[in-house]
Structure 1
Amino acid sequence: MPTSTTVRPTTPPTVWLARGRHVGAAAEDVLRRNLRDLKARGVIHDHMEPPQPEDSPEKVFEARWAVGEVTVRARLALAPPSEGGREWVLAAEAEAAWDLEWPSPATMFWPEEAEGAETEWDRLSGSELRLRDINPLPADDKDLRRVLRDAAPDTWAVHVVVHEAMTPDERGRRPLAPLLPPGLRHRVVEHRAAPHQLRAVNWALREFGVELPRGGAVVLPGVPAPEGYDGGGFSVRTVFLDGSRPAELIAAVTRFAHAARPLPKGADEVVTALREDWHLLTLEEELERQRALVAMYAEALEAMTRSRDLYREAAERANEALAAYRESAGVPAPALPAQNRNEDTRPASPLQQLTRTLERLKLGKSRHPEPGTARPATDTEEPAAPEPAAPEPTAPEPEPLQAETTEAPGSKPL
C-alpha cells in the first residue's frame, strides 16, 4: 500500500470537513436563500457573509447553530465561477467531539430536499461523481482504472466500491447515502461495479493493497491510510442488493469515519481560516477576544520593558568593566572636549530653549548699536586699531613765511 512521506497532522475530533462542486450558475443565491430560510425557521442561530480582501477570489459564508448544548460554527468558501461550476469547501467545528448523528453541516448551507437547479451542489470536487447517488463505473477498462486510481487516494471523501453479483432490480439500485448517519451522507461516494467488472476493479485496486470481494464491498483507504487500516477489516463479503439495509457495510463505513485520519491535503488552511478568521461573534465572544488582545499587548509590553532593563544593566556592567580594566592597566580615561565638558548633555526643556533664544537675540542686539550711538567700552573688548593715515601729496617748495593775521568777519585789511 502506498504511503505518504510527509507526516500530516491528524484531523481534530471536533472538526467536520467536506468539499464539492456546484454545477449551476446561481450558487450564491442558493446559499443566501437557504440560510435565510433556516434562520427564519430557527434551525440556525445566525449567518453572515464576512468582508473579504479585494484581491480574494472566493466568497465566504459563515453560520452558527447548536445541537443540544453544543455550539457548532461552520465556514463555507465558494470559489470563483469556472466552466465546470463553482468549487466549495466546508469546515465545521463543534465545542465537543463530532457525533455522526448530528445534522450534516452541508444541509445548513445547501438545500437538501429542493428540486431542479438547487440540488446541483452535490458533485464531487474535480469530477462528475455524485455524493448522494450511485456512480456506475465506466464500461471502458481504461476509464474504470482512471476513476478508481483517482478515488483511492482521496481523503476528503469516503469512497466505497460495491460489486453487483448479478444485475439488481429497481430496489437494489437505491443509493447507500440515505441509510448512513446524517454526518456521513454528504461525505461518501458510492461506486457500483457491474458483475463482469470485478477483475478490472481488483486490477486497478491492487496497487493500494485492497481487494473487492465478489458480491461484496470495500472501503478505499485513501493516501495516507488511517492508522491501523486493514483492507480485510473494511471489506464486506456479501451485500444483498434487494432493498434491505446493508448493516455490515454501514458499520464498516462508520468505523472507517471514526478512525483517526490525517488531514486531507489543503485542509489545514481551511481549519485555520475557520478558527482565526471567524467574524460571526456573539457579544461574549467579542468581549473575550478583546480581553485576549489586551492580555497579549500587555505581555508584549512587559517583554519589551524587560528587554530594555536588561540592555541597560548590561551596558552599565560593560562600562564598569571597562573602567576597571583601564584602572588596572593604568590607562587614563579619554578626556572629553571642553565644549562637551561645559555643556549640559541633558535635553533642554522648551522653556530653557526659549530663554536661550531670547538671550541670543538680546546679545545680538547689543552687539549692533544704532547709528549715532556711542558704543560703550567693555573690559573684554580690545581697543580699536587706529586707521592708517592717508599718504600726503607731494608739495612744491615752501614760500617765505608771512605773518598770518586773523580777520574778524566783516573787517578790512589795514
Structure 2
Amino acid sequence: MATNSTSSTIAPGTAWLLRGRHLGPDAEQDVRRNLIALKSARVIDDFLDLDPVEAARSTDLFPRDESADPGPSARRVFEARWRVADDVTVRAQLTTYDPESRRAGRDGTSWVLAAEAERAWEEDWASPATMFWPDSDQVAWDHEEAPGVRLRTANHLPKDDGELRRLLRDCTQKSWAIHIVVHEAMTPDAPGRRPVTVFLPPSLRHRVVEHRATPDQALIADFAMKRELGVGLPRGGAVILPPAPRAPDHDAERFTVRDVFLDGTEPTELRSKILEFAALPRPLPADAERALTRLRQGWHLLTQEEELVHARAMVTTYATALHAMTESCNLYQEAAESALAALAEATGGEHQLRTPAPTAAKQDASPLKSLTKTFSAFRRPNR
C-alpha cells in the first residue's frame, strides 16, 4: 500500500475510492460503532463484519478467485449497503490493514474504501467515508499516507525545502486523493483558517486534501512545486496538483487560481476548478483497481432478491454442466457399442465384450447427488 503504480483502467464514474490511516487505538471498533448507529437510524440498510479469510473463501454456491482476497495483512472487512436519491443502491467495502511500516508518523491502521453506485456518482451524495467512520474530530481516521497530512483540515507545508519536496512526491505518487495548495497572502484570522474544502459538495469533501503555504513560503513553495511537479503557486492564489504520472495534455494554468480570499467566504473560482478537475477521466491507481475488483467479485451483503437471482444462475450453471457430462457419457457409450459391434463383425463373434455395469459406489457419486448436496446448504427458513 506504500506505492501507487497506475493501471490502464480509467476510473468508472460509478465508483468512489479512498484510502488512509487511522491513528487511534481501535480502528475496527470505531467502524462497528458507526455502522451500528447508522443502521439503527436507518441511514444504511445493512452491514457485515467479516474475517478476511472467510471473506475470501470460495464455496460451491459462491465460487471466488484470488481477486476476492484482501491479502495477508488484512485485519477486517466491513461491507455496507445504503440508498441515495431514493432508489439508487450504493455498495461499499472497507478493509483495515496492519501498517507496512512503523516509521515515525506511519503507524496506526491502514484502510482502503471502495464504493460503487448503480449509476454515475453525483456530487451531492453522502461521502462513503462517513458511513464507516464517524465524522468527528474525536476520531483520527482521516490521516493520509504522507506523515502529518489529514483530510479534514488545512495542512501547513513544512518549512524545510527537502521535506517539502518529499511531501509533494508522497502526495502525488502515493495518494488517491486530490491535493490543492493555497498560499496565504497574509496571515488569516479565524474564519480564514477554516479549510476551503468545507465548501465542497459532500461527495468530494473527503477526497480533497488542502495544503497551506504561509506568507513567507511563497518563493520556496513555488520553486519546489515547479521543480517537482512542473506547476507554480501564485502569490495569494492556489493550484491543484497534477497526479503522477502527469498526463501529457495536463494544463497547469487551467487548474490555477490567481486570487483566493481567505476570509471565511466561499472561494467560488477555486471550488469550480476542483469540481472540474474531479470530473476528468483519470487512470486508476493499481491498488485502487484491485480494491474495486474485490468489491465487485467478493461482495457478500446480498438482499433476498439478489440471493434468489444468484441461486437461479448457479442452478442454470450446474444444469448446463450436468447436461454436458450426460451428453459426453452418451457419446462415449455409443462409441463403445459401435466399436464392440465392429469387433464382433470382424472376428465372427469370437470376441464379444460386455461393458461393465456401474457399481453402487459410482452411482452414489453421480453429478445429480453432488448438485443436490450443494444446494441443500442454500435452503433456509422463509426463503
Q: Same fold (TM over 0.5)?
A: yes
Q: Deviation string for 1:304-345 (max 9, x for gaps)?
A: 6777899999x89xx9xxx9xxxxxxxxx9x9899xx63432
> For residue 344 of structure 1, what is the aligned residue in structure 2?
352
Task: Tell me: CA distance 1:349–1:236, structure 2 relative to 1, closer, same or farther (3 Å).
Answer: closer
> For residue 110 of structure 1, what is the aligned residue in structure 2?
133
Please show how residues 257-268 of structure 1 align to structure 2 within 5 Å.
Answer: 257-268=278-289
> For residue 388 of structure 1, what is the aligned residue in structure 2?
none
Task: Tell me: CA distance 1:309–1:258, structure 2 relative to 1, closer, same or farther (3 Å).
Answer: farther
Unpaired segments ≥5 residues, structure 1: 324-332, 352-414
C-alpha distance in 1 between matches for 2:210 and 2:358? 81
Alignment check: 8 A CA contact 1:149 1:204 kept: no
> For residue 35 of structure 1, what is the aligned residue in structure 2?
35
> Offset at 1:197?
1.9
> Offset at 1:209?
2.5
C-alpha distance in 2 between matches for 1:233 and 1:311? 70
**Structure 2 counterpart of 1:268, one-letter code:** E
2:207 to 166, 177, 187: 187
Alignment check: 8 A CA contact 1:216 1:239 kept: yes
> Offset at 1:171?
2.1
> Offset at 1:133?
0.3
C-alpha distance in 2 between matches for 1:122 and 1:243? 23
Alignment check: 8 A CA contact 1:224 1:262 kept: no
> For residue 389 of structure 1, what is the aligned residue in structure 2?
none
> For residue 124 of structure 2, what is the aligned residue in structure 1?
101
> For residue 172 of structure 1, what is the aligned residue in structure 2?
192
Task: Tell me: CA distance 1:182–1:5, structure 2 relative to 1, closer, same or farther (3 Å).
Answer: closer
1:242 to 2:263 alignment: yes
SS across alignment from 1:102: coil
Alignment check: 8 A CA contact 1:161 1:193 kept: yes
Alignment check: 8 A CA contact 2:145 2:174 kept: no
> Offset at 1:17?
0.4
1:92 to 88, 102, 115: 115
> For residue 222 of structure 1, what is the aligned residue in structure 2?
243
Please show how residues 1-400 of structure 1 align to structure 2 within 5 Å.
Answer: 8-53=8-53, 57-67=74-84, 68-80=86-98, 83=102, 84-113=107-136, 115-116=137-138, 119-154=139-174, 156-206=176-226, 207-225=228-246, 228-301=249-322, 342-349=350-357
SS across alignment from 1:159: strand
Task: Tell me: CA distance 1:148–1:299, structure 2 relative to 1, closer, same or farther (3 Å).
Answer: same
C-alpha distance in 2 between matches for 1:228 and 1:312? 65
Alignment check: 8 A CA contact 2:45 2:81 kept: yes
**Structure 1 counterpart of 2:185, one-letter code:** A
TM-score scaled by structure 1? 0.71
Alignment check: 8 A CA contact 1:131 1:187 kept: yes
**Structure 1 counterpart of 2:16, one-letter code:** W
Alignment check: 8 A CA contact 2:180 2:239 kept: yes
SS across alignment from 1:104: coil
Instruction: State the Cα RMSD in Å.
Output: 3.1
Task: Tell me: CA distance 1:310–1:240, structure 2 relative to 1, closer, same or farther (3 Å).
Answer: farther
Task: Tell me: CA distance 1:153–1:350, structure 2 relative to 1, closer, same or farther (3 Å).
Answer: closer
> Offset at 1:149?
2.1
SS across alignment from 1:259: coil
Q: Deviation string for 1:236-285 (max 9, x for gaps)?
A: 11101111110110111111111111112311110111111111110000
Unpaired segments ≥5 residues, structure 2: 55-71, 360-383
C-alpha distance in 2 between matches for 1:105 and 1:152? 22
**Structure 2 counterpart of 1:38, one-letter code:** L
Q: Deviation string for 1:279-309 (max 9, x for gaps)?
A: 1110000011112223333444566677789
Task: Tell me: CA distance 1:280–1:349, structure 2 relative to 1, closer, same or farther (3 Å).
Answer: closer
SS across alignment from 1:61: strand
Alignment check: 8 A CA contact 1:18 1:89 kept: yes
**Structure 2 counterpart of 1:101, one-letter code:** D
Task: Tell me: CA distance 1:135–1:176, structure 2 relative to 1, closer, same or farther (3 Å).
Answer: same
> Offset at 1:201?
1.9
> Offset at 1:140?
1.1
Larger radius of gyration: 1
Q: Deviation string for 1:44-74 (max 9, x for gaps)?
A: 1111113431766320011111011101111
C-alpha distance in 2 between matches for 1:350 and 1:302? 19
> For residue 373 of structure 1, what is the aligned residue in structure 2?
none
Alignment check: 8 A CA contact 2:74 2:95 kept: no
**Structure 2 counterpart of 1:76, one-letter code:** L
C-alpha distance in 2 between matches for 1:226 and 1:312? 62
SS across alignment from 1:272: helix
